[in-house]
Amino acid sequence: MSSVDLALSYHTLFAFLGLVVAFAIAWWSYRFPVPPQPPAWKRTFIGLRAIALWLIILLIGQPVLSRIDRSVVPPLVEVLVDDSQSLTLADAQGDRRVILKRTLGDRAFVAFDSDAEVRWSTFAERRRPIERWSPDSLTFRGERTDLAGAFGDLRTTDPVRRPAAVILLTDGNSTTNENPVYEAQALGAPVFAIGIGDTNEPRDLRVSQVVSNATAYAGTSVPVHVSLHSSGAGEETVDVTLEHRGRVADRTTVVLDAGARDRRLTLRFMPDSAGWHRSIVRVSSLRGEITTLNNSASFLTNVLSDKRRILIVSASPNQDAAFIRRSLSTDSSLTVVLRTGAPGGGFLEGPLSPEDLRRADLVILVGIPDARTSDDVIRLIARDEFAPTPLWYLLQRTTDLARLGPLAQRLPVSIEAVANTELSAFFSVPASRRLHPILRSANGADPWLSLPPMFRPAGSFLPRPGAEVLAYVRLGNKDLTDPLLIVRRDEGRRSAMLAGYGLWRWKLLAPAGSGSADLADDFVNRMVRWLTAAEDERRVRVQPDREVFSSVEPPSFTAQVYDESLQPVSDADIEVTARGSDGVVSTILSPLGSGQYVGSLPSLAPGDYVTTAVVRAGGAVLGEDRGRFSVGGINVEFVETSLNRTLLEGLAARTGGAYFPAGDLSGLAERVRAAPAFRETELVRRSDLDLWSHPWTLVIVVLLLSLEWFFRKRSGML
């Protein structure tokens, strides 16, 4: 049943008055036409002008024409069928595909066909409505089970007509991060869950987790932490291997415990060249296990060409330089080079050469310069070519700050009026700075309170523009405003200064059991990592969102584009091309504004892919970026192989539905019929047409006035 309604911004009476006024004006205009016209022509002229004038009066009222369709519809029952790979397993209950199809043929699904509309959908990575349902519609190829997405799609696809009930057939193992219970509750329909599979863990061995460094250095041993989960095994021996670039890099033998157990072990590999390397962890199979598709997992490692090289230049032998060297020697990714000033003016380990400074990723100056440091050494360190190299500067009692010369410009502070006296200063970190990467610690709210004092020369250390004070001097219980630790980031250059000495005291004089000794080593390593962190000031940055995607997941990308002034560019064209063993695919990223872009490639076959992104604006190439990603890692569909009855029962209980095992659907039809929304409802659909802004309304008015003018000219009127 349909009805039409016209709404105006003024009272309907004015529309009728407007009609009278329009005809009155038209009649007045044609009461004495020149030359005189037959009555039929006069009526035509009056009608055309009156209708045109009346339409103009109506448009002033902003008319909206509404059509309302009312229909009585039966209740809607949505049947959601799991179409993921986990339904291909065979457990103690039997082949899940056979069980599922047998369950779908149960008479319970036709018991309410006569008084309800049954709509069928399959789901895996997404929900897929099936117009003509048949069990042959199932493919069991989905590599993810997105329960939350299926319920969310039901809620948003047709917000007018919601299902009265949802029948869900699945093993209950959702493989996404979203909680399906929340989306099901938001749908507002009871869920009747039918569990497919066995709740007991089957005989299975799988690689459940692999954790390794995303970045490593060539020639450095890289640990790989592997988690194995076994169920149904008993004192059986399996081999675990780590393959790196197609070769076995490490292997071990594991004896499995009886029952369901988790086992952690560590394997290692040593990359021999730079680049993106793919590694695979494999575990041998158990006889009779439910599946072997979860017995391997792959991951990518970005291997850098060399270790970071740390150059420590000390004015003389001292405890701080020795302590820093010992702390850094435990990090296998670092190469530490020491130059210690000798009494004659040289260095004990050999001369300090320009090549030492060129190769350094970080320069640590301890007590430079003192009275014995030559001017040539100061000028060498202060060369402009070494200015981009990160610098950590530490004072000593013998430091002669008056001889810094051009080196003073490299420090994050300007030094004024330094006296020969020294203060016993505690390290005081404000609460606002305790989360800085250098000072972040897990040893308590303020672990720095337990550190012994260091020494600081009396004087004025003023932070330069852009510098940040991370710690201040504390005398006794009084916090001063004198800075003790200052860092600076300026145009990609990083520098830090510890305006005191006696750092070794944190290690050797820390209270027993306080954890401060470890805090000292942690401080040194965090400082080095922060100073050597790469500054990314590229104008074009296009990278995949993750390193590993599943074979059904479209690899997605994010991009940022800046001009020469590092201002965002929002009108660029970005083409991303991925090259793999099977060929080349490409896509164009979509702009989000403020120089940000997103997009995705189609789903790709398992393998490694190299990406090239070309960014153009105004016909010119702004830049390029390269990256890499992998398709295929741990198959999440086989991580959990037993029926998750707990989730399905909770889902049904929270939505007012019920849980049924696949072998017994008695009472399902009755429970669905008893759902509160299982009744005929009046469906009202309304469509509005804004006549006052519709172009055809203006066309009609112009057409009426044009016809009037045309007939006037044909009849010879003035």
| pLDDT of 249 | 94
Looking at the DSSP bridge assignments, the partners of residue 614 are: 575, 624
**Residue 452 resides in a domain:** yes
258: left (phi over 0), alpha (psi -120 to 50) or beta: beta
CA-based nearest residue to 279, from 205, 222, 239, 206: 222
Beta-carbon contacts of residue 637 (< 8 Å; ≥ 6 apart): 84, 85, 86, 142, 143, 144, 145, 173, 175
Domain containing residue 257: CATH number: 2.60.40.10
**Residue 197 resides in a domain:** no
| pLDDT of 334 | 86
- Domain final residue, candidates 304, 328, 353: 304
**Residue 657 resides in a domain:** yes
Beta-carbon contacts of residue 219 (< 8 Å; ≥ 6 apart): 270, 271, 272, 306, 307
618 with 661, same domain: the answer is: no
Looking at the DSSP bridge assignments, the partners of residue 227 are: 209, 264
Are 593 and 636 spatial neighbours (Cβ–Cβ below 8 Å)? no
**Residue 282 resides in a domain:** yes
Provide the whole-model pTM.
0.56
297 with 356, same domain: the answer is: no
CA–CA distances in Å: residue 280 to residues 148, 245, 250, 298: 31, 8, 11, 4
- Domain final residue, candidates 304, 339, 368: 304
**Residue 89 resides in a domain:** yes
- C-alpha–C-alpha distance, residues 516 and 503, integer Å: 12
Instruction: Please give the residue range of the domain that contains residue 272.
Output: 204-304
Burial tier of 710 (Cβ tally within 10 Å: 0-12, 13-18, 19+) = exposed
HSE (side-chain half, CA atoms, 13 Å) at 110: 6
343 with 401, same domain: the answer is: yes
Distance of CA 618 to the CA centre of its chain: 30
Q: Tokens for 214?
A: 């995303």
| pLDDT of 282 | 94
| pLDDT of 552 | 62
Domain containing residue 615: CATH number: 2.60.40.1930
Domain containing residue 509: CATH number: 3.40.50.880
336 with 441, same domain: the answer is: yes
Are 155 and 178 spatial neighbours (Cβ–Cβ below 8 Å)? no
**Residue 684 resides in a domain:** no
| pLDDT of 439 | 86
- C-alpha–C-alpha distance, residues 263 and 236, integer Å: 13
65 with 90, same domain: the answer is: no
H-helix segments, 533-680: 645-655, 668-673
300 with 211, same domain: the answer is: yes
- C-alpha–C-alpha distance, residues 373 and 203, integer Å: 72
332 with 425, same domain: the answer is: yes
| pLDDT of 512 | 60
Site of tokens 């993750």: 546
Beta-carbon contacts of residue 136 (< 8 Å; ≥ 6 apart): none
**Residue 148 resides in a domain:** no
425 with 478, same domain: the answer is: yes
| pLDDT of 336 | 93
Regions in the chain scoring below 50 on pLDDT: 442, 444
| pLDDT of 306 | 67
| pLDDT of 566 | 60
pLDDT in tens, 88-111: 988 888 999 999 999 998 888 888
Burial tier of 132 (Cβ tally within 10 Å: 0-12, 13-18, 19+) = exposed
| pLDDT of 151 | 93
437 with 509, same domain: the answer is: yes
Q: Tokens for 167?
A: 């029948």
373 with 426, same domain: the answer is: yes
- C-alpha–C-alpha distance, residues 95 and 198, integer Å: 10
**Residue 420 resides in a domain:** yes
pLDDT in tens, 646-692: 999 999 999 999 999 998 999 999 999 999 988 888 777 778 888 87
The SS3 of residue 359 is helix
The SS3 of residue 240 is strand
Q: b/e string for 413-445 if b means 16 or more Cβ within 10 A?
A: bebeebeeebbebbbbbeeebbebebbebeeee
- Phi and psi (nearest 5°) for 156? -100, -20
- C-alpha–C-alpha distance, residues 204 and 266, integer Å: 21
513 with 370, same domain: the answer is: yes
- Domain final residue, candidates 532, 556, 578: 532
228 with 297, same domain: the answer is: yes
* Number of domains present in the structure of the chain: 5
The SS3 of residue 49 is helix
